[in-house]
Amino acid sequence: MIYDSLKHAEIYQGVHPGVQRGLALLRDTDFSKMEDGRHEIDGDNLFILLQSYETKLKNDTPEAHKKYIDIQYLISGEEKMGVGPLEEMMEEVEAHPERDIWFYHGPSSEILLSGDKFVVLWPGDAHAPSMAVNTPVSCRKCIVKVKV
* pLDDT the model gives residue 63: 98
CB distance 50 to 142 below 8 Å: yes
In which band, very low, low, confident or very high, does the pLDDT at 148 lie, cut at 50, 70 and 90? very high
Computed over every residue of the chain, the mean pLDDT equals 97
- As for how many domains the chain has, the answer is 1
Q: pTM above 0.85?
A: yes
Which domain covers residue 58, as residue numbers?
Answer: 2-147
Q: What percent of the chain stands above pLDDT 70?
A: 100
- Supply the CATH number for residue 68's domain: 2.60.120.370
The mean per-residue pLDDT over the stretch 110-135 comes to 97
37 vs 25: CA distance, rounded Å: 16
In which band, very low, low, confident or very high, does the pLDDT at 99 lie, cut at 50, 70 and 90? very high
The secondary structure of 47-93 as a DSSP string is: EEEEEEEE-BS---S-EE-SSEEEEEEEEES-EEEEEEEGGG--EEE
Q: Which helix (H) or strand (E) holds 144?
A: strand 138-147
